[in-house]
Amino acid sequence: MEKYTYSPDVSDESDTNEEDTKMVDDPLCNPNRPVKITFEEITSAAYKIRSGVLNTPCIRSHLSALTGMDIYLKKDFLQQTGSFKERGARYAMLMLTPEQRQKGVVAASLGNHAQAVCYHGYQLGIPVTVVMPIIAPIMKIQKCREFNANVIMEGKNMDEAKRIAVALSKERGWTYINGYDNPQVIAGQGTMALEIMEQVQDIDAVVVPTGGGGLLAGVAVAIKSLYPSIKVIGVESERCASYTKAIENGKPILTTIEGTLADGLAVPMIGYNAWETSKTLVDKMVIVKEEWIAVAILRFIEDEKCVVEGAGACGLAAILAGQLDECKGKRVVLLLTGGNIDTTILGRCLERGLAADGRLVKCKVTVSDRPGGISELCKLIGSIGVSIKDVIHERAWVASDVFSVEVKVVCETRDYHHSIELRELLFSRYKKVRFDNFPPKCAVKTN
């Protein structure tokens, strides 16, 4: 492995473009001299962090029957700060020199890496400053403050927060710890795969949520070094598919990202070291749609009794969406990487999950405006055991006669079939009925 040296002079590199030079600020992540993380580094990380990071359970999932796969769940959301990020953060901090430890560290993060650095800094007596973009989830920000860290809320996205953190590190002499491209962080994340291979036999595939690519890189090196036949599959949200963009581009490239339920994955450009390490080891990348992430979060709560954040639920989302059907009948390990989700966002995810699942439906029915017209509709809906969550009626803008009223109803049903029953019943009794966003059968759990 190449030594981690920093040379600000990149002018001698022929393929350097403007984006690359912007990113060279971080001494351990030089686009022109990317480092490949080795299996040996991952094993030393595992040895060093073992007293400060949990070896989390990896157990067979109740979702196996639903998905037709032999699914195992690596529950790394059970770490102290609710995510796998502690692995890399602790290893990088343990490797600091005494002088670096004394001066302190700085990190930029949307939340999980920040919490991990704050917690382990607190444990190891290292002063920590974290720069969190203004879009970072409130719960994650609060947690960092609880560990006595200096929390700076600045930058509209990760890219901006990172620039601020790197500038601070230069100004104050703090060590900057990149959450997905610092070589020691990548090695630390790879320790999760070492545990998995001890916990589960005869694995066919591991599914890895991917943001900046650090986890994917560490896991891929560990897995392919020991069992090259195990498939390593990365999953990204459609709203921040920066690894897929790097594949298309032949190297990391700035990617437009939008707000996503998988906020932990919202990194506009994957790391150069992560890319260099993983590019030949990853078997498949999958891009999942947001509604499937919501359904996956719902499934984890209902079927597994686990609160998993959007990023951590992406693997199951890909399976539910039918994007990993080649794994049917095979043994698949899903990395449940984090559980830090704001309660309000969780509520919204559950509602979206129920809607995508066909268990929360909305319709507009035009009924008679004579006394009893609306109550008749409500009685009819109640007669098949459907519960009404919301009713609004509209008189002024109804196109039909003045003796009609349009009623908008939001209903909660037992399952998709129950919603179909409701739809058929309303169509059989009323002339004007419209269901909005009724999910197609293929999108829902039907057994």
Ligand X SMILES: Cc1ncc(COP(=O)(O)O)c(C=O)c1O
To 10 degrees, what angle do helices 373-383 and 416-429 make?
140
Which range touches ligand X (CB under 6 A), out of 20-28, 90-98, 209-217, 319-327? 209-217
Paired tokens of 65: 């029957």
Of the candidates 122, 116, 56, 55, the one whose C-alpha atom is nearest the C-alpha of residue 88 is 116
Q: Is 214 in the site for ligand X (CB under 6 A)?
A: yes
Pick 133 or 212: Cβ nearer ligand X:
212
Pick 83 or 129: Cβ nearer ligand X:
83
Q: For residue 69, give Cα distances in angstroms to 38, 87, 203, 320, 336.
A: 31, 28, 12, 11, 17
Q: Is 211 in the site for ligand X (CB under 6 A)?
A: yes
Closest approach, Cβ 44 to ligand X, in A, equals 19
CB-based burial label for 295 (10 Å; 0-12, 13-18, 19+): buried
Closest approach, Cβ 341 to ligand X, in A, equals 10
User: ∠328-332-337 over CA atoms, to 5°?
Assistant: 135
Closest approach, Cβ 112 to ligand X, in A, equals 4
State the distance between the two ends of the chain, measured CA to CA, in whole angstroms: 51
Which range touches ligand X (CB under 6 A), out of 223-231, 260-268, 290-298, 423-431? 260-268
Count of Cβ atoms closer than 10 Å to residue 197 Cβ: 18
Amino acid making up residue 369: D
Of the candidates 7, 59, 77, the one whose C-alpha atom is nearest the C-alpha of residue 313 is 77
Paired residues of 97 in beta bridges:
none
Residue with tokens 């991990």: 116
- The 346-365 contact track toward ligand X, x by CB under 6 A, reads --------------------
- The 152-191 contact track toward ligand X, x by CB under 6 A, reads ----------------------------x--------x--
The footprint of ligand X on residues 31-60 (CB under 6 A) is none
Paired residues of 75 in beta bridges:
336
Pick 36 or 103: Cβ nearer ligand X:
36
Q: Is 264 in the site for ligand X (CB under 6 A)?
A: yes
Residue with tokens 């001890």: 198
Strands 128-132 and 205-209, by their bridges, are unpaired
Query: Which listed residue (35, 37, 107, 265) binds ligand X by CB under 6 A?
Result: 265
Pick 265 or 334: Cβ nearer ligand X:
265
Which range touches ligand X (CB under 6 A), out of 128-136, 162-170, 206-214, 276-284? 206-214
Query: Which listed residue (31, 52, 190, 312) binds ligand X by CB under 6 A?
Result: 312
Amino acid making up residue 55: N
Which range touches ligand X (CB under 6 A), out of 56-64, 148-156, 205-213, 392-400? 205-213
Pick 263 or 357: Cβ nearer ligand X:
263
Amino acid making up residue 340: N
Q: How many residues bind ligand X (CB under 6 A)?
A: 22
Paired residues of 435 in beta bridges:
363
Pick 113 or 279: Cβ nearer ligand X:
113
Q: Contact, 244 vs 314, CB < 8 A?
A: no
Closest approach, Cβ 9 to ligand X, in A, equals 29
Which residues are near ligand X by CB under 6 A?
83, 85, 112-113, 180, 189, 209-216, 264-265, 267, 309, 311-312, 337-338
